[in-house]
Amino acid sequence: MQIDKKDIRSLSKEQLRDFFVSQGDKAFRGNQVYEWLWNKGAHSFEDMSNLSLATREMLDANFVINHIKVDSMQISTDGTIKNGVKLHDGLIVESVLIPTETRTTACVSSQVGCSLDCEFCATARLKRMRNLNPDEIYDQVLTIDQQSRQNHGHPLSNIVFMGMGEPLMNYNNVQAAIEKITSEEGLGMSPKRITVSTSGLPKMIKKLADDGVKFKLAVSLHSAIEETRNRIMPFTKSFPLTDLRDALQYWYSKTKSRVTYEYVIWRDINDDKASIDALVKFCKYVPCKVNLIEYNPIDDGEFQQADERATNSYIAALEKNDITVVVRRSRGKDIDAACGQLANKS
């Protein structure tokens, strides 16, 4: 009879120590295995070279390591790398390495598909299959760190949760993954270099604040006019801008960390003066910065990138009101590798 093996990375260090004691071995073996799994990123028990053959065979008889596999990889002329990541059950998600001259950023997924219904988002057209486990999120980061070292000569510097899925609808697993990523027993990255992007779930934003998280928060806003936001992001009818505003004010009161608004300007949707004025007003509720994002159209429909004049009008109005604004140009256009929620899907 075939044993249904448990993924060993679902065990805590304490549980691993207890397992070895139950097998008549020393507890410190659990520490060794834990280091191989998280700090060294072992893909198999065979990799654990400081364990005896008998110990490795015993682990193999009882557990599996459901490590992700890079099923496809495309490298852009600008150095961007797009990964099609295959999970242990055959499902596919995407992660992207985004380089600049001074750093590399990992854009990672948190769900297979998405349960939200943002009209402009390719992932929203995919049915949400399941949440990613903490180790599957961790593996994306570890893989991109290795790609950064191999292709750009330095380790990964930043992480953004802007890939497939809504991170705050996979709250516990995202939190657990970040704990591993920032732990000295994991990748040891600073939480200040991690940004979690949400489409705007007020209750969960408040929970982040109550939990005292140290990473940064970004909100996919795209319009500060209720009617417009509801049209392009229909689920927000249940989460009005007043609730979002209150949640962000609560976030700042607890964390003293400014919010980043992710904002795409579309032709004939939010490229008018009323939209600009509404954004400026909304930005005054809490300290913030605005990322104006270049859009990659997913088809020939209503969502098309606005012209440069609209972008310049937004920049001028925001800067006039002392609001920090940055224009994020799309990367990896030749391989269709825009990050995450705004991504073209091949």
**pLDDT, tens only, 210-255:** 999 999 999 999 999 999 999 998 888 889 999 999 999 999 999 9
The yes-or-no verdict on residue 296 having pLDDT over 80 is no
Nearest 5°: CA angle at 193, between 192 and 198?
A: 90
How many angstroms separate the CA atoms of 144 and 97, rounded?
6
Which of 34-48, 173-187, 291-305 shows the lowest per-residue confidence on average (mean pLDDT)?
Answer: 291-305
Between residues 241 and 295, which one has the greater pLDDT?
Answer: 241
Task: Return the bridge partners of 76, or none.
Answer: none
Q: What are the binding residues for S-adenosyl-L-methionine?
A: 165-166, 197, 220-222, 296
Tokens for 168?
Answer: 């705050």
pLDDT score, position 255: 97
Between 299 and 214, residue with greater pLDDT: 214
Average pLDDT, the chain: 90
Q: Catalytic positions, please?
A: 94, 339
Whether the predicted pLDDT of 292 surpasses 80: yes
**Residues of each annotated binding site:** 114, 118, 121, 165-166, 197, 220-222, 296
Give the β-pairing of 259-264 and 69-75: unpaired
Residue for token pair 């992660």: 95
Give me the domains of the chain, ranges plus CATH numbers. 6-64 (1.10.150.530), 69-335 (3.20.20.70)
Question: Which distant-in-sequence residues (6+ apart) come within 8 Å of 133 by Cβ?
Answer: 7, 10, 66, 173
Known binding positions for [4Fe-4S] cluster: 114, 118, 121
What is the C-alpha separation between 181 and 135, in angstroms, rounded? Answer: 10
pLDDT for residue 295: 80
